[in-house]
Amino acid sequence: MSAPAFAFTFPLDVERLIFEEAARNDIQSAVQLALVCRRVQSWVEPIIYKIVSLHSIEIRDSFRRSLEITTKPLSFYVRYIKVLDLPRASDFWRSHPQTTIKLFACCKGVEHFVSSASPFSTPISTELLEAVTAMRPRRLVGRLTRILPDTNPNFSLPFFNNVTHLQISDSMDRWATWSGFHHLRRLSHILLPASDDFGVSFFTPGALRVVKDILSHCESLQVCVLRHGNTTDFWYRPGEALDLFEGTEDARVVFILTPVEKRSDWQAFFNGEPDTWDYADQVVAMQRQTGRRVKARRVIVMTSISCICPPTHCS
């Protein structure tokens, strides 16, 4: 006579914790977990959709098809997509204008927005512009002249209302002509590249004016990072670079070198790992404590997070 079989089930809250933890630990398997049953799907999909990074052709096409056939309400995406990382492949967006509009509408709740490409074509779509400017990111990384179709970004737009961390990728000869940074009421951290479109490091009177304006008028500012990519010029000796600031000894100014291997700070941030901003905060604290400028160095952000687009058959 065989032994009686005993059925064992976890309490629902414990079962949910198990599946959620499994999804966080291996995002690749999270997609498969979503297919177990609708209950599990409702638990792991918010984890799957939290980070949308569209850098590979496969993921871009998969996510595009997902948006085109989805039965999920717009509110689902607005609630759960927190990171949007867009590729440089502008042709992709121009080839699928309606899907691009839907993508940005779905990302209205994004907190961390990374983009170096422009989703706009000529003439500019009013509907797309409205979808983009409806976003309220807290951390913004990219070329502002491409994210918004304007050579001089209007920082008073509601799009910038919640920005606390701003990493500008536009070259110095562009941002050195900008004004209105004082409208960024919540800005605590800003990073500016000290180079032109060819990566040549230099510093201009216009750039000095902008940096001083930011330091003087951005009320919440804690850190101003100046980044360049050359170890052979004067930037490698911050003491000499400071002469250009006419004796300004602002401890909030941090000099760094462009990392040899660029890693995404948003990946480190959401993986609970130190990022460029953490390093800059430490430098500011050290400079305030010692009264001396910290030598420029390369900041290498090591990340282990991976992200993947959900399959098109997840409704």
> For the segment 217-246, what is each residue's pLDDT rounded down to a tens digit?
999 999 999 987 654 444 444 444 445 554
36 pLDDT tier (thresholds 50, 70, 90): low
Condensed to tens digits (0 to 9), the pLDDT of residues 115-136 reads 877 777 656 788 888 999 999 9
pTM to 2 decimals? 0.81
Query: Who wins on pLDDT, 26 or 211?
Result: 211
Query: Who wins on pLDDT, 139 or 125?
Result: 139
Which strand ranges, in their side-by-side order, compose the sheet holding 223-228?
51-53, 83-86, 112-115, 139-142, 165-168, 189-193, 223-228, 253-257, 297-298
In the chain, pLDDT over 90 holds for what percent of residues?
Answer: 30
Q: What is the pLDDT of residue 158?
A: 95
Residue 267 has pLDDT above 60, yes or no: yes
Q: What is the pLDDT of residue 59?
A: 77
Query: Who wins on pLDDT, 283 or 8?
Result: 283
Q: What is the pLDDT of residue 121?
A: 65
User: What is the mean pLDDT of the segment spanning 270-275?
Assistant: 77
Nearest to 225 by CA among 147, 279, 160: 279
Q: What is the pLDDT of residue 309?
A: 37
Q: What is the pLDDT of residue 200?
A: 56
Residue 214 has pLDDT above 60, yes or no: yes
Residue 272 makes CB contacts below 8 A (sequence gap 6+) with none
**Which of 140-149, 156-165, 221-230, 246-255 bottoms out in mean pLDDT, i.e. has the lowest?**
246-255
Mean pLDDT across the chain:
77
Q: What is the pLDDT of residue 4?
A: 58
d(CA 173, CA 203): 9
Measured in degrees and rounded to the nearest 5, phi and psi for residue 108 equal -60, -25
